[in-house]
Structure 1
Amino acid sequence: MAATDLSHAHPLLQVSDLAKRYGEAEAQSTVFEQVSCEIAAGEFVAIVGNSGVGKSTFLNCLAGLDSWQQGQVLHQGVDLSTLNEAQRAIWRRAHLGFVFQAFHVLPHLDVTQNVALPLMLLGRMHDGGEQRVQQLLQAVGLQGLGPRLPQQLSGGQLQRVAIARALVHSPPLLLADEPTGNLDPSTAQQILDLLLAQTREQGTALVLVTHSGEAAKRADRVLRLTAVGMQTQETAAST
């Protein structure tokens, strides 16, 4: 697959000299620092790196779920560090889809309700929302499982609920933390197809953390996160 030419696209997301540290003063431990990158609308970027380097933490920073000690995260020119917690929550609701590695589905809601939650929060259930939910349940292979509660599902099925929920409101920014990690190869391929379709058809910027070489090969760019920055890594899609 040829890479999409986004060299002239205005960045949707800009990360400048980002540093994440834990602890106080001289006892601080650095997770990563000097991390800079830009992500364009409609671009699929894979983030790779050694275990423990902070890939999930980096995604949490991009989502405004975690704080950082240096640098900026700008979304369409808005500096997330200037927003308070309530403002960040409102921003996430409107602009972000997040596939968590630990799923974070709500145990008291059934599958349909979990997937529909972003639309409900945005007041969009009466604007084709129910049809959109059913379309996504079918797209991720969960048709007929809408009435089930999360405790009645397997890990792979929970992963697909999380993916459908992240996609349902067609967010301009989609962050995914190992979204195919609990899936068999065939289903993983199906999910990657769905994520890529969202990116191409709706101009969504997709940032995907992965250890899967197959997933990384499909990205427009592969960025390797290290403790001292972000490096571009060649991928089959760019050759």
Structure 2
Amino acid sequence: MSLVLAGVAKRYGEVPVFEHVTLQVARGEFVAIVGESGVGKSTLLNCMAGLDDWDGGSIHLDGEDLGAMTADERALLRRRRIGFVFQAFHVLPHLDVAQNVALPLMLLGVDAGERNERVAAMLDAVGLQELGARLPQQLSGGQLQRVAIARALVHRPSLLLADEPTGNLDPGTAAKVMELMVTQTRRQGASLVLVTHSEGAAARADRVLVLTSEGIRPHP
């Protein structure tokens, strides 16, 4: 997997959010992006996933130009190759843990037998093997984030995008969640791009980049 951004710019009307964002993420690399609040870190992550449009430059995933794709083509690419972990978990409250984790496999049409095996293995990997039948409201914040990580990785994406995944967690739980996310992405050979305000989380990365309105640069 390779993710390549070249001169990416984003504006809201006439107001620039960021410009001249150029970076490359190699297969299996863990890159953390930090920066001041409001500089557009989450927006940049959404552009990498093809969830948001951008106003200049290009984004390529494995040589494919996201900017040249239709909305449906981007959705299919995300479904197959990208996992996303959000700060607010975004688990579905009416589905139990196992059903939430199984969603990406259902969308890909994986048959029930293989789907159940992969969900069970993923729940075991994140330490939730006994909680598959529980509803989200019965879980702690740390457990909910582990559900979100399991769901993001169960279809074995080549790229995991994580937007402040420890922002709603206490420091001890946050450290455990980061350890889990890094361990599982390394095990799968996936690349990880993390947006964070946490110095501890960023310190785990192979590379830390600072996003500003004028571009992106290595952390000093």
The TM-score with structure 2 as length reference comes to 0.92
- Alpha-carbon deviation of 1:123? 2.3
C-alpha RMSD of the superposition = 1.8
The question of whether the paired residues in 2 share the 8 Å contact of 1:140 and 1:191 is answered with no
**Matched letter for residue 196 of structure 1:** V
Q: Which of residues 51, 73, 77 in structure 2 aligns to 1:87?
A: 73
- Alpha-carbon deviation of 1:195? 2.1
- Which residues of 2 match residues 100-139 of structure 1 at below 5 A? 100-126=86-112, 128-139=114-125
> Which blocks of at least 5 consecutive residues in structure 2 are unaligned?
none
Structure 2 partner of 1:210: 196
The question of whether the paired residues in 2 share the 8 Å contact of 1:105 and 1:114 is answered with yes
Q: How far apart, CA to CA, are the structure 2 residues paired with 1:67 and 1:163?
A: 25
What secondary structure does 2:2 align onto?
strand
Q: How far apart, CA to CA, are the structure 1 residues paired with 2:177 and 2:114?
A: 23
Asked if 1:67 corresponds to 2:53, the answer is yes
Q: Which of residues 144, 163, 178 in structure 1 aligns to 2:164?
A: 178
What secondary structure does 1:206 align onto?
strand
The question of whether the paired residues in 1 share the 8 Å contact of 2:142 and 2:173 is answered with no
Cα 1:187–1:131 shift into 2, 3 Å: farther
Q: How far apart, CA to CA, are the structure 2 residues paired with 1:38 and 1:106?
A: 33
Cα 1:132–1:191 shift into 2, 3 Å: farther
What secondary structure does 1:174 align onto?
strand
**Matched letter for residue 122 of structure 1:** L
The question of whether the paired residues in 1 share the 8 Å contact of 2:17 and 2:39 is answered with yes
- Alpha-carbon deviation of 1:55? 0.6
**Matched letter for residue 22 of structure 1:** Y
Q: How far apart, CA to CA, are the structure 2 residues paired with 1:185 and 1:43?
A: 24
The TM-score with structure 1 as length reference comes to 0.85
- Which residues of 2 match residues 225-236 of structure 1 at below 5 A? 225-234=211-220
- Alpha-carbon deviation of 1:75? 0.4
Q: Which of residues 137, 142, 148 in structure 2 aligns to 1:151?
A: 137
Asked if 1:20 corresponds to 2:10, the answer is yes
Cα 1:87–1:55 shift into 2, 3 Å: same
Cα 1:173–1:46 shift into 2, 3 Å: same
> Which blocks of at least 5 consecutive residues in structure 1 are unaligned?
1-10, 235-239
What secondary structure does 1:230 align onto?
strand
Worse-matched range after superposition: 130-139 or 69-78: 130-139
Q: Which of residues 8, 18, 29 in structure 2 aligns to 1:43?
A: 29
What secondary structure does 1:183 align onto?
coil
What secondary structure does 2:176 align onto?
helix
- Alpha-carbon deviation of 1:127? 5.8
